[in-house]
Structure 1
Amino acid sequence: MLFLLLLIPVFLVLPLALAGRGLGVLLRDGLRRGAHPAWLSSAAAFSGAAATALYACGLLFIAVAVLEAEDGGTDASPLRPCRVPGREERAQHVVDYSVDYLPLRFVCETKDGGSYSAEAVPGYVNPAALALALAAVVTGGAAALAGRPAADGTPAADGTPAADATRVVGPERDGR
């Protein structure tokens, strides 16, 4: 539970930092014509912010499920998060629980050594967070490639000259 409580603040602050980074790059470089790496970099930051925000929402669902599972007293057995509608008989055999962080899920462990995933996290959280994270990686990689000059001396899409484009090689350097 302590690990979960440490993760939640990180995943609540990280989306704000990534969104701020994306907005900063967009306002600084993205408003001028032809700044493709800036647009791609902003898209990567915004996608990363959305992915981490969605993951944070999933962590909050997990935290609520853990709090319900740890709550004692009347109506505590079987564990409340393990009471999946239509599978009430299965919940009678639950002895413990665990939390998986990738993918996010609350796992109910049964007496016979089996386990099943309770429906504590909505079904859209894991696939959407994965899709947004992949979009962030792809657009970030595209931004890095678009901002790098080509090996043949062609300037980058943002106008950055190639590293050796300013160096004079051959007889031209002596003025001949």
Structure 2
Amino acid sequence: MRGAGREVRLRSGAALLGACAVAMYTCGLLHVAGDVIEAEDGGSYAAASVPDHVNPAAACFALGAAVCAGAAAVASERRAREVPAA
């Protein structure tokens, strides 16, 4: 990564942020699926609420991934349009 260009770093950042968004969303899904609450009468029911931090965090990670991917595309396009020095 040290010698990599700007586009590679931005694409790597986009991939990492996208993976974080998927992981955060999956964490929320697993929390809902695995959360069972015991009632006082001995019964139980599954809680159907996602923790408050999951949706904003997943959205921020996804937005960051989109921004990095867009910046990488713009940088790549600018590099492709550069006229080589003669």
What is the aligned counterpart of 1:125 among 25, 42, 54? Answer: 54
Distance 2:59 2:69 in 1: 15
RMSD: 2.4
Percent identity, aligned pairs only? 38
Give the structure 1 partner of residue 67 of structure 2. 138
Secondary structure of the residue aligned to 1:121 is coil
Matched AA of 1:135: G
User: Deviation above 3 Å: which 4+ runs of structure 1?
Assistant: none
C-alpha offsets along residues 23-72 of structure 1, whole Å, 9 cap, x if unaligned?
A: xxxxxxx3216x1111111111110011101111011012124xx48xxx
Larger Cα-atom Rg: 1
1:126 and 1:80 map into 2 onto residues whose CA distance is 20
Q: Partner amino acid for 2:77? A: R
Identify unmatched segments of 5+ residues in structure 1: 1-29, 82-105, 107-119, 150-155, 167-176
Aligned length: 80
Partner of 2:76: 147
TM-score computed with the length of structure 1 as normaliser: 0.40
* Uncovered stretches (5+) of structure 2, i.e. residues with no partner: none
CA distance in 2 between counterparts of 1:63 and 1:141 reads 34
Structure of higher RCO (CA pairs closer than 8 Å, 6+ residues apart): 2
Q: What TM-score do you get using the length of structure 2 for normalisation?
A: 0.77
Label 1:57 to 1:132 Cα distance change in 2 as closer, same or farther (>3 A): same
The structure with the greater share of residues assigned to helix is: 2
